[in-house]
Amino acid sequence: MSWFDESRLDDERALGAADLRLRTLAESGARVRREAGEATEAIAAAVERARDARPRAVIAAGPDSRLLRAVLEPWCPVPFVAWPGPALPGWAGSLDLVVVLAPAGSDSGTASAVAEANRRGCQVVVACRPGSMVAEHAEGRYSTILPAVTDDQLAIAVVMLSFLHQVGLGPRSEPDRVAAALDEVALACSPHRDISINPAKMLAISLADANPLVWGGSVLAARAARRVAESIRRATGRTALAGDAEHLLPVIEATRPHDVFDDPFADGGGGDLRPVLVVLEDGADDPVVREHRGRLQAAAAERGVRVETVGADDIEAGGEVARYASLLLTGTYAAEYLRLGLVD
């Protein structure tokens, strides 16, 4: 049975073994800047082409369309649809804009959707590697390729969102400011930063003996919660759930009330792992979000379930995309520190 050795989080040898994964996280901001720099000319061309008329609708095609949906659905001034399959909606045509994220550019279904968009005369903007299969199918009179140079889905999405913001179809998304927010997280969560002042290490310690329930109130915070829970599952092999309040409340309410006299070493050294509620706070002040947060926290207090808050509500520059990126990176760092601290 595995146990958590928190001393490994400040141990140079243990951290050295995880250097590649931690370095990849630390370079998140640099990848955003690199993608934005490489795509500058292509974005300008796409913006110029889009100035003629606002599209009837925006279609985000391909399997990597979910982040675009989370950002655009509450904001886009024209009808928006995410279409992850290998085709397009039957109504899509020359009045519509099709945007595609294809980091590797090797997905045949995405290539098929892009080719169909060109056949129908849609405006097409594709972020993919030049020379890839998707890029070859994207060549057309009304298409623009935003050249991708990394496989970082977030960095490539930020570039696409920058284009959509410049043509009035999406919220503010300035790559430099998103990169700056990621840099701040990398500094705060650095492996060289002591446990006592490192939010990701402290979160990892709080989750070491627990099954995380990750919740975010806004659309983007909820998506970050799903990605963080996925990272924790991959890093530890343990259960980690993310969902809306109505999905997480039954889990909290079914938890046996905490008893201070429980033997923590019962049942062979650890017993059942209790849930911990992890709230991703991005500053959303919607009444529904406040009500759901309050219900979750009240249920947690009643059952003695610990609550951990990961905050990005103090990030103003860069807007909601920067706050999403900050929450996601902090949670991913915590997952890596969990992986590092768990030993057999």
Each residue's pLDDT expressed in tens, for the chain with a length of 344 residues: 678 999 999 999 999 999 999 999 999 999 999 999 999 999 999 999 887 789 999 999 987 788 899 999 888 999 999 988 888 999 999 999 999 999 888 889 999 999 999 999 999 999 999 999 999 999 988 899 999 999 999 999 999 999 999 999 998 889 999 999 999 999 999 999 999 999 999 999 999 999 999 999 999 999 999 999 999 999 999 999 999 999 999 999 999 886 666 655 554 444 578 999 999 999 888 899 999 999 999 999 999 999 999 998 676 666 889 999 999 999 999 999 999 999 87
Its pTM stands at 0.92
Which CATH superfamily, name and number, covers 3-18+191-343? Answer: Glucose-6-phosphate isomerase like protein; domain 1 (3.40.50.10490)
> What does the alpha-carbon distance between residue 185 and residue 338 come to, in Å, rounded to a whole number?
17
3-class SS at 283?
A: coil
The two structure tokens encoding residue 273: 């792992």
Residue 268 pLDDT = 42
Which candidate, 272, 267, 270, places its Cα nearest to that of 255?
Answer: 272
Residue 101 identity: L
Calpha distance 318→180 (Å, rounded): 9
Name every residue whose Cβ is closer than 8 Å to that of residue 107 and which is 6 or more positions away in sequence.
62, 63, 133, 134
One DSSP character per residue, 149-179 reads: -S--HHHHHHHHHHHHHHTTSS----HHHHH
Q: What is the pLDDT of residue 73?
A: 86
Beta strands in 285-331 (DSSP E): 307-311
Kindly report, residue by residue over 281-309, the tens digit of the pLDDT: 998 888 999 999 999 999 999 999 999 99
CA distances from 278 to 75, 228, 298, 343 (A): 27, 10, 14, 23
Q: Give me the long-range contacts of 196-201 (CB less than 8 A, separation at least 24).
A: 198/9, 199/310, 199/330, 200/330, 200/333, 200/334, 200/336, 200/337, 201/9, 201/10, 201/334, 201/337
What is the per-residue pLDDT for 213? 98
- Going from N- to C-terminal start, the domains of the chain cover 3-18+191-343, 30-172
Residues 324 and 132: their CA atoms lie apart, in Å, by: 29
Q: pLDDT tens digits for 180-228? A: 999 999 999 999 999 999 999 999 999 999 999 999 999 999 999 999 9
Q: Confirm whether 3-18+191-343 and 30-172 share one CATH topology.
A: yes
Under CATH, domain 30-172 is a member of which superfamily? Glucose-6-phosphate isomerase like protein; domain 1 (3.40.50.10490)
CA geometry: angle 286, 275, 257, nearest 5 deg: 100
CA distance 214 to 272: 19
